Amino acid sequence: MGATAQGWGVKYSSSSVCAVKGSTVKFSCDVEYPPDQKLERAFWTKQALEEHPELCSEERVQCSRESKDRFSITLRDVREADKHIYYCRFITNAEGGRYTGIPGVLLDVTDLQVKTEQMVKEGDPVTMTCRTSCSLPPRTKFFWFRGDQILPEQTNKKLQLQSARLSDTGFYQCAAVGAEHLRSPPVYLGVGHLNRLLLEAHSRVPPVCVSGATAQGWGVKYSSSSVCAVKGSTVKISCDVKYPPDQELETVFWTKQALEEHPQLCSEERVQCSRESKDRFSITLRDVREADKLIYYCRFITNAEGGRYTGIPGVLLDVTDLQVETEQMVKEGDPVTMTCRTSCSLPPRTRFIWFREDQRLSEQTKKKLQLQSARPSDTSFYQCASEEAEHLRSPPVYLGVG
C-alpha cells in the first residue's frame, strides 16, 4: 500500500555502480513518504517483491543514516557474488506503510586487466589500456606501475608511450586511485629487436624462446585472439604450431606467462590438453572461473638445441556471468525489452534460452527477449542462459505488469 500513491518514493544516488573487485563501494537513497506518517526504519535487500533477508546485518556490510531521510549502504571487499540489484526499502508507522524503491541500483564488479601489444620495435608508439568489464565513474584516476615503480605522471585509463625506448621494457600493472593495492596482473612489454629482448629475458629467467623466434619457419597461429566464456562453462582454445621441417616436435604445452618459466597448465585440475592433429593442439578449461581471466600462451620445444618457441601475443580469455536487464515495473500494453547482459562479447552465433519461473520460453533464442504488448500474465521472474550451458542461469529478475 502506498507504493504507487502520491507522496511516496525512493531516489537513488545512481542507477548503477561499477566497483573494482576487492574495493569498497557506497551508494545511497533518499526516501519520501506522507508528512503525516513517521519513518520507522529503512533497510536494503537484493529482492524487490519478496520478503528477503535485509543486508544490513551481514558481514562486510555497513548501513548508515546520513540525514533524516537519506540512507546508505557500504560494501567492503567487493566480490563477484555481490553483483546484484540492491533495493532501498522502508516502513512507516501507518498500516501497510511499506515501500520498495524500484528499479533499485545495479552493482557491477570488475577486475583490472592491462591490454597492450607485448612486443614492439624501438620508436613505435604504444598504448596500454587499463581494461574493465564495466564503466567506472568518469572521474576515476588510475595508477600505473612498471615493476614496483609508480609512474607518477600517468593518471588516465590509457598509458601512452609516444616513442617506445629499450628502457620501457618491463612488466606493467594498473590500479584505481584509492585502491592502489588492488593491482591488475602484470603484463610484459618488450621493446627492441626480439632476439635482444629474449637475451635480456634469459639473464633473469631460464630460456623460454630462442633465436628461431624471428626466423623463417617458426610460428604459432591461434584459433582466436580472444575468447569470452560464461562463468561455470567449458571453453576450448587451440593453436597450430610451425617449426623448421628438419626438426621434430618434442612437446607442446600451455602457460599463463610469455617470458618467464611458468608452470605449465596441462597437469592442473579442470584442464585438459589434447593433440588434435599432427601440429594442432588444444587446451580445454572446465568450470571456468573469474580467476581464469588471463592470457594463455601455446609453447613448444623441438629436438634442436635451443628449439623453443612461445606464441605471442597469446589468447585473452575473458569470463562473464549473465544478468537480465529490464524495467521492473511496466503498464499493461507497454512494450518490454529484456537483455541477457554480458561483460564481454560471446561468439556471434551464440543462442540463448529464456525462462519465466522454471518454464522455458522455447521460441526465444536471441540475446534480447521482446514483449510487444505486456500483459498481466507476463508478471514473473525471468532468467536467461546460453544454449551451450543451459544449467548456468542468470539470477532471477522480476517483471511486474499492471
Cis peptide before 396 (omega within 30 of 0): no
Q: How far from chain centre, in Å, is Cα 383? A: 19
Nearest Cα neighbor of 20 from 64, 86, 85, 75 is: 75
C-alpha cell at 80: 563477484
Q: Is the dihedral of CA 344, 347, 348, 352 positive or negative?
A: negative
* 3-class DSSP string for 231-276: CCCCEEEEEEEECCCCCCEEEEEEECCCCCCCCCCCCCCCEEEEEC
Residue 26 confidence class, pLDDT cut points 50, 70, 90: very high
Which pLDDT does position 205 carry in this prediction?
Answer: 34
Residue 126 confidence class, pLDDT cut points 50, 70, 90: very high
Which pLDDT does position 261 carry in this prediction?
Answer: 59
Residue 3 confidence class, pLDDT cut points 50, 70, 90: very low
* Dihedral of the alpha carbons of 186, 190, 195, 199, in degrees to the nearest 10: -50
Beta bridge partners, 101, equal none
Residue 199 confidence class, pLDDT cut points 50, 70, 90: very low
Q: Is the model's pLDDT at 262 over the cut of 80?
A: no
Helix or strand or coil: residue 378? helix
Cβ proximity of 44 and 87 under 8 Å: yes
Which pLDDT does position 365 carry in this prediction?
Answer: 82
Q: Is the model's pLDDT at 197 over the cut of 70?
A: no
Nearest Cα neighbor of 179 from 315, 310, 76, 304 is: 76
User: Once rounded to an integer, what is the mean pLDDT over residues 89-101?
Assistant: 89
Taking all residues of the chain, what is their mean pLDDT, rounded to a whole number?
84
Q: Is the dihedral of CA 363, 366, 372, 376 positive or negative?
A: positive
State pTM to two decimals.
0.58
Query: Which domains, from first to last, does the chain contain?
Result: 9-109 (2.60.40.10), 111-192 (2.60.40.10), 206-320 (2.60.40.10), 322-401 (2.60.40.10)
Which pLDDT does position 61 carry in this prediction?
Answer: 93
Tell me the DSSP string of 48-114. Answer: SSS----STTSTTEEEEEEETTEEEEEESS--GGG-EEEEEEEEESSTT-EEE-SS-EEEEEE--EE
Phi and psi at 211, nearest 5°, equal -60, -25
What's the pLDDT tens digit per position in 337-355? 999 988 888 888 889 999 9
Which pLDDT does position 201 carry in this prediction?
Answer: 40
Of the candidate ranges 22-31, 169-178, 259-268, the one whose mean pLDDT is the lowest: 259-268
